[in-house]
């Protein structure tokens, strides 16, 4: 059954200690060493002009963000674990400016510039920030955020992303498998659940649903699904 123990704190929010332990112990199989091929294949379906601002929730230190920058886009991300953000800037050779949040001691922003493009990574709980904090968003790239959320938080999470991005279009990647055979995260998301979380706000198009070997047990069939969410 899904393992939600310790992911949610008593306040029914994300438990930072769970994710900090995962990063500290290098249990970060979700952090891929290469750019996600589905991002490369499908990002153009969003039809964004150069200079657009891409929101990456629960971004970790994903090198997908560097790919987006190299394509001429600006990036803003949110990550709960500060060491992940620090590692991103070190590994990418970017010197950040660190800006403390005006009203919260629990949030700060690492900002850098690469080839004329800006990257701003917030160290914060995704539920604690506002649209005013992160600024205008042109699109959302969600590769590992929704699937990191247990069922109890997904409605709250999807609503927060819609709020933060002001209903911007999304490229959403999910996994679909028999959740009774493997504990998450990452958690399985069904087609029906994607409709449940986003159907009232977006026109949803499934771009791909193919077998995946991502962290799969030998007897477990996992499908990786790609969704294009356009504002209705």
Averaged pLDDT in 10-residue chunks for the chain of 232 residues: 50 59 61 84 97 96 96 96 94 96 88 95 94 97 92 93 97 92 84 97 96 69 94 89
Residue in the structure block whose two tokens are 């994903």: 62
According to the model, what pLDDT value does residue 211 have?
A: 86
Instruction: Note the pLDDT of residue 102.
Output: 85
Q: Is residue 6 part of a domain?
A: no
Question: What pLDDT is recorded for position 103?
Answer: 82
Say if 168 falls within a structural domain: yes
Picking from 99, 62, 60, the residue whose alpha carbon sits closest to that of residue 78 is: 60
C-beta of residue 88 within 8 angstroms of C-beta of residue 96 = no
State how far the alpha carbon of 230 is from the alpha carbons of 5, 54, 79, 129, 186, in Å: 34, 15, 25, 23, 24
How much is the pLDDT for 30?
57
DSSP state of 136: -
CA distances from 15 to 18, 52, 81, 83, 127 (A): 6, 32, 11, 16, 12
pTM for this model (two decimals) = 0.89
User: DSSP secondary-structure letter at 211?
Assistant: E
Neighbouring-strand partners of residue 173: 226
> For residue 103, is it within any domain?
yes
In a domain, 61, yes or no: yes
Q: Cα dist. 114→10, 16, 73, 211, 214 in Å?
A: 40, 29, 10, 35, 30
pLDDT on residue 104: 78
| pLDDT for residue 70 | 96
How much is the pLDDT for 66? 96
Distance from C-alpha of 191 to C-alpha of 174, rounded to nearest angstrom: 9
CA proximity to 128, closest of 104, 151, 146, 109: 104
Looking at residue 185, its pLDDT comes to 79
What CATH number did the domain enclosing 138 receive?
Answer: 3.40.50.150
For residue 178, the tally of other CB atoms under 10 A from its CB is 11
Count of domains forming the chain: 1
Q: Which two tokens stand for residue 200?
A: 């009232």
Is residue 157 situated within a structural domain?
yes
**Domain coverage including residue 163:** 16-231
On whether residue 131 sits in a domain, the answer given is: yes
On whether residue 154 sits in a domain, the answer given is yes
SS3 for 31-55, per residue? CCCCCCHHHHHHHHHHCCCCCCEEE
pLDDT of residue 37: 93
d(Cα 141, Cα 56) in Å, to the nearest integer?
Answer: 5
| Residue 159, Ramachandran bin (φ over 0: left; ψ between -120 and 50: alpha; else beta) | alpha
User: Residue 120: inside a domain, yes or no?
Assistant: yes
């Amino acid at each position: 059954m899904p393992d939600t123990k310790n992911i949610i704190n008593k306040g029914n929010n994300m438990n930072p200690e769970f994710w900090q332990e995962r990063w500290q112990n290098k249990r970060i199989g979700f952090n891929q060493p290469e750019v996600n091929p589905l991002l490369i294949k499908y990002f153009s379906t969003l039809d964004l002009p150069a200079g657009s601002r891409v929101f990456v929730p629960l971004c970790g230190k994903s090198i997908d963000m560097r790919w987006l920058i190299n394509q001429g886009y600006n990036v803003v991300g949110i990550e709960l674990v500060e060491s992940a953000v620090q590692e991103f800037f070190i590994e990418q050779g970017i010197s950040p400016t660190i800006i403390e949040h005006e009203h919260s001691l629990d949030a700060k922003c690492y900002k850098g510039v690469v080839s004329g493009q800006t990257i701003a990574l917030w160290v914060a709980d995704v539920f604690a920030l506002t649209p005013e904090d992160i600024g205008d968003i042109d699109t959302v790239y969600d590769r590992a955020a929704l699937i990191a959320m247990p069922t109890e938080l997904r409605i709250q999470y999807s609503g927060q992303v819609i709020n933060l991005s002001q209903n911007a279009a999304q490229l959403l990647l999910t996994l679909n498998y028999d959740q009774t055979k493997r504990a998450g995260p990452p958690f399985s998301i069904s087609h029906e659940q994607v409709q449940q979380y986003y159907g009232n706000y977006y026109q949803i198009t499934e771009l791909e649903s193919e077998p995946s070997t991502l962290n799969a047990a030998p007897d477990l069939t996992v499908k990786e699904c790609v969704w294009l969410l356009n504002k209705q």
